[in-house]
Amino acid sequence: MSHFAPAAMHVLHPADTSPVGTDWWRGAVIYQIYPRSFQDHNGDGIGDLVGITSRLEYVADLGVDAIWLSPVFTSPMKDFGYDVSNYRDIDPSFGSLEDFDRLVEKAHALGLKVIIDQVISHTSDRHPWFAESRVSRTNERADWYVWADPRPDGTPPNNWLSIFGGSAWQWDGRRMQYYLHNFLAAQPDLNFHNGDVQDAVLADMRFWLERGVDGFRLDTVNFYFHSPGLENNPPIGTENYSAAMAPAVNPYNLQDHVHDKSRPDNIAFLKRLRALIEEYPGRATVGEIGDAQRQLELMAAYTSGDDMLHMCYTFDYLGGQYSAPYFRSAMSALEAEAPQGWVCLAFSNHDVVRHVSRWAPHGFEDLVTRQAALLLMTMRGSVCLYQGEELGLTEAELAFEDLVDPYGIEFWPEFKGRDGCRTPMVWQAHGHNGGFSAANRTWLPVPAQHLHAAVDQQEHVANSFLSFYRSVLAFRRQHPALVKGDLTLIENTPEPVLAFTRTLGEETLVCVYNMSAEPMTFELETLGGVADAGAPGSDARVDGNTLSFGPFGAYIGTMK
For the chain, which domains are there? 26-123+194-474 (3.20.20.80)
Distance (Å, whole) CA 544 – CA 534: 16
Amino acid identity of 371?
Q
Model confidence over 376-401: pLDDT tens digits?
999 999 999 999 999 999 999 999 99
Pair 388, 394: CB distance under 8 Å = no
Which member of 153, 210, 239, 279 is catalytic? 279
Q: Peptide bond before 496: cis, by omega within 30 degrees of 0?
A: yes
How is residue 445 annotated by DSSP?
P
Residues 240-263, mean pLDDT to the nearest whole number: 86
Model confidence over 128-187: pLDDT tens digits?
999 999 999 999 999 999 999 999 999 999 999 999 999 999 999 999 999 999 999 999
How is residue 190 annotated by DSSP?
B
Distance (Å, whole) CA 476 – CA 374: 9
User: 316-347 burial, b if ≥16 CB within 10 A, otherwise e?
Assistant: bbbeeebebeebbebbeebbebbeebbbbbbb
Q: Quick count: other Cβ atoms within 10 Å of Cβ 190?
A: 25
Task: For 341-390, give the secondary structure using H, E and C.
Answer: CCEEECCCCCCCCCHHHHHCCCCCHHHHHHHHHHHHHHCCCEEEEECCHH
Task: For 393-427, give the secondary structure using H, E and C.
Answer: CCCCCCCHHHCCCHHHHHHCCCCCCCHHHCCCCCC
Q: What is the CA radius of gyration of the chain?
A: 24
Which member of 79, 91, 219, 316 is catalytic? 219
Model confidence over 301-327: pLDDT tens digits?
999 889 999 999 888 999 899 999 999
Predicted TM-score (pTM) of the model is 0.95
- Identify the three-state secondary structure at position 91: coil
Pair 40, 442: CB distance under 8 Å = yes
Q: Peptide bond before 6: cis, by omega within 30 degrees of 0?
A: no
219 is catalytic: yes
With a cut of 60, say whether residue 509 has pLDDT above it. yes
3-state helix, strand, coil in the chain (%, to 5): 30, 20, 50
306 is catalytic: no
Q: What is the largest CA-CA distance in the chain?
A: 78
- Identify the three-state secondary structure at position 311: strand
Distances (CA, A) of 441 to 36, 53, 424, 456: 13, 22, 12, 22
What's the pLDDT at 527? 54
In the chain, % of residues over pLDDT 90? 84
pLDDT band at residue 232 using 50, 70 and 90 as cut-offs: very high
With a cut of 80, say whether residue 238 has pLDDT above it. no
Task: For 233-288, give the secondary structure using H, E and C.
Answer: CCECCHHHCCCCCCCCCCHHHHECCCCCCCCCCHHHHHHHHHHHHHCCCCCEEEEE
Amino acid identity of 68?
W
